[in-house]
Amino acid sequence: MTAIPAAAPAPAASISAPGSGRTAGSRWVYVLLVGGLVLMVGPFLWMLLGSIKPQADFLTAPTLLPSVPTTDNYSRLFDQLDFPRFFFNSSVIALAVTIGNLVFCPMLGYALAKLRWRGKRVIMGLVLATLMVPAGITLIPNFILMSKLGFVNTYPGLILPFLAGPFGVFLMRQFMYGVPNELLEAARMDGANEFRVFWSVVVPIATPVLATLGILTFLGNWNSFLYPLVMAQEPQMYTLPVALATFATGQYQADHGMLMAGSVILVVPVLIVFILFQRWITEGIATTGLKG
Amino acid sequence: MTVPALAQRRTAEAAPSASRRPWRDDLVGWAFAAPFVILFVVFLAFPILASFLLSFTSFGLRDIANPVGTSVIGIKNYVDLFADPKFWKALFNTFYFVVVGVPVTLAIGLLIATALSRGVTRFRTAFRVGYYLPVITSIVAIAVVWRFLLNPDAGLINMLLGGLGIKGPAWLADPVFAMPSIIAMAVWRNLGFAMVVFLAGLQTIPATLYEAAGIDGAGRWQAFRYVTIPMLRPTILFMTVITTIGYLQLFEEPFVMTLGGPLDSTLSITMYMYQQGFTFFHQGYASAIAYVLFVIVALIAFLQFKFLRSDE
């Protein structure tokens, strides 16, 4: 009831001054946005709080806060289960894939944006088409292929197919268009061949966008699930998401505290990277309209 | 791509290589493209073709030693598939997820983007970061957390509902509520992505249009309806296609939260393909399922191309 008098002048205010700051109307916008923010952050807090609850708290009626905060859930992950190993696997795979993309994607992006060669249009078409292909379609043949190569349950099997993603090529191509031709021309006049131009002129200019690509590729692969689920059949090759999903659907499915702690370990490194680099991430998405 | 942009690019490219021999340029271009092309052929083009061929075989676990020796059974997989009630159920569930999930995700994303781009000046970064957080986190972790949130006995949601005197349903264990729960989680996870793309789109709309609308006496809603929506049309269309293609591949959420149940009410196409291929090792049959999904996605991508062409 009290809301009505406050809300009533809002439309009038926004007509007279569209887009102008803090009118009564935008106060309600703030209330809604803050309410939404609580909904967005709430599950993360629930996860953090759950991860420090003792076992006994899950047997009684649920509470928001732990009766006694404990690190028990974490020590069980690290002592009883092989979480250090899963963390290591996830890191190695995501890093290797990131390095591959940082080398290969700018190369093709440059050739697509700045060089003239026959077949360019076809390759550009392939890059765009690849963006649309559902992951499920290649899963079974890749599994058979990797089995024949002996790469199931190995790092190469989990890394190789992702070393040059279409998202990275697309992002780099968009960026390369903006590189001034005069710069490239000057280097060519000095007798530099295309590889030299690329390496000593283009790559240094591209550093910020390479950072964006690196962060997005790392995050995407850190979170990757379906492919590692199939290709890492033995526990010692599990990545964090595969391990967490396996435990959550298997023998530990009712062990809420431990599953929340596992989620924290999977999520927190990503949150730190994101909060540190959020500008680069959102800019990369805004340029391409894709999240990698 | 618009015509002037193309023309501009042509001249920009023509200048540096005009004096060179074309085969040399080709060689250089292909050298730059080689890593991508090799990976593309081995891990994408070949598997897509292989998947098509596999869908006409009875490929199973014992065929891995000698893939060429598997038996060809023609279109039997497809015939079986179209008579398989579980497949139709999976198809229905996937479309249910897409048809409800995509519009809700985009509508909320657009609403937040509009609020953030007009009028809201304080705490913008906090809002942007907060709403975007779930997008960059692992779906598996989110699904594990939401499963716990939705837990009928130990979960937060029924605890809060209980505080209001409402007895919440068993959510994921209830065939009626399981899919809506998964949709709610997907919306929660993806609306930040829509928000960021829409924010970028909104920045390209000139402020003068809103001023003109204001002079004509348009209120907030009218400005949104007659300025924002038409100007954003290409972005909305693009986001619809990207989100639809993503949602059609629903997998992690049911895998972690429900295993496709209860009563197959959350079994998705990719989930069913995974079960057939890697739980029962009917890999020929699973390939047929994958191909149906592939064709659906390709069709949507094709329609998008047609739409976008006529748009520009």
Find the CATH number of the domain harbouring B120: 1.10.3720.10
Residues from chain B contacting residue A9 (CB–CB below 8 Å): none
**What ipTM score was computed for the predicted complex, to two decimals?**
0.85
pTM, two decimals, is 0.86
Residue contact B207–A19, C-beta within 8 A = yes
Residue contact A256–B151, C-beta within 8 A = yes
Low pLDDT (below 70) residues in chain B: 1-20, 119, 305, 308-312
- In whole angstroms, what separates CA B208 from the centre of its chain? 34
- For the record, the structure tokens of B73 come out as 């059974």
Q: Is the dihedral of CA B59, B61, B67, B69 positive or negative?
A: negative
Q: Across the A/B interface, how many CB contacts are shorter than 8 Å? A: 335
Same structural domain, A94 and A143: yes
Amino acid at position A116, single letter? R
Same structural domain, A154 and A33: no
Half-sphere exposure for B56 (CA within 13 Å, toward CB) = 8
For residue A168, count other CB atoms closer than 10 A to its CB. 30
To the nearest 10°, report the CA torsion of A267, A270, A274, A276.
110
Same structural domain, A128 and A41: no
A-contacting residues in B 143-172 (Cβ below 8 Å): 143-149, 151, 153-156, 159
CA distance B207 to chain A (A): 9
Give Cα separations from B118 to A26, A30, A212 (angstroms).
9, 12, 27
Q: Which domain holds residue B306?
A: 84-311
Residues from chain B contacting residue A46 (CB–CB below 8 Å): 145, 148-149, 156
- In whole angstroms, what separates CA B306 from the centre of its chain? 19
The total number of structural domains that make up chain B: 1
In-domain check, residue A56:
no
Q: Residue A270's domain is classified under what CATH number?
A: 1.10.3720.10
To the nearest 10°, report the CA torsion of B100, B101, B103, B106.
170
DSSP A52: T
- The CA-CA-CA angle for residues A128, A130, A135, to 5°, reads 145
Residues B121-159 have pLDDT tens digits of 778 888 888 899 899 999 999 999 999 999 888 888 888
In-domain check, residue B193:
yes
Interface mutation target, options A40, A202, A283, chain B, most CBs of B under 10 Å: A40
Same structural domain, A129 and A161: yes
Interface mutation target, options A117, A173, A265, chain B, most CBs of B under 10 Å: A117
Same structural domain, A31 and A163: no
In-domain check, residue A59:
no
Q: Which domain holds residue A107?
A: 75-288
A180 touches chain B (CB under 8 A): no
For residue B217, count other CB atoms closer than 10 A to its CB. 8
Residues from chain A contacting residue B51 (CB–CB below 8 Å): 137-138, 140-141
B-contacting residues in A 128-147 (Cβ below 8 Å): 129-130, 132-145, 147
Same structural domain, A22 and A82: no
Residues from chain B contacting residue A104 (CB–CB below 8 Å): 35-36, 39
- The CA-CA-CA angle for residues B304, A121, A116, to 5°, reads 145
Of the candidates A19, A135, A177, which has its C-beta nearest B119's C-beta?
A: A19
Amino acid at position A47, single letter? M
Report the chain B residue with the minimal C-alpha distance to residue A223: B138
In-domain check, residue A184:
yes
First to last CA, chain A: 47
In-domain check, residue A63:
no
In-domain check, residue A79:
yes
Is the peptide bond between B262 and the residue preceding it cis, with omega within 30 degrees of 0? yes
Residue contact B188–A39, C-beta within 8 A = yes
Average pLDDT of adjacent 10-residue blocks, chain A of 292 residues: 32 38 67 92 93 85 83 88 93 96 94 91 89 87 92 95 91 88 89 89 89 90 94 94 93 89 93 81 66 54
Residues from chain A contacting residue B30 (CB–CB below 8 Å): 117, 119
Distance CA A222, CA A11 (A): 46
Tell me whether residue B265 is exposed, middle or buried, using C-beta atoms within 10 angstroms of its C-beta: 0 to 12, 13 to 18, 19 or more: buried
Amino acid at position A85, single letter? R
Tell me the β-bridge partners of B57: B72
In-domain check, residue A65:
no
Residue contact B140–A137, C-beta within 8 A = no
CA distance A182 to chain B (A): 9
Residue contact A33–B115, C-beta within 8 A = yes
What pLDDT, on the 0 to 100 scale, is given for residue B11?
A: 44
What pLDDT, on the 0 to 100 scale, is given for residue A4?
A: 32
Distance CA B181, CA B146 (A): 9
What pLDDT, on the 0 to 100 scale, is given for residue B115?
A: 87
Same structural domain, A118 and A241: yes
User: B112: helix, coil or strand?
Assistant: helix
Nearest to B186 by CA among B113, B115, B98, B121: B98
Same structural domain, A26 and A169: no
- In whole angstroms, what separates CA A32 from the centre of its chain? 27
Query: Helix, strand, coil shares of chain B as percentages rounded to 5?
Result: 75, 0, 20
In-domain check, residue B60:
no
Same structural domain, A276 and A159: yes
In-domain check, residue B32:
no
In-domain check, residue A230:
yes
What pLDDT, on the 0 to 100 scale, is given for residue B308?
A: 63
Nearest to B37 by CA among A137, A242, A112, A60: A112
The total number of structural domains that make up chain A: 2
Distance CA B254, CA A226 (A): 12
In-domain check, residue A68:
no
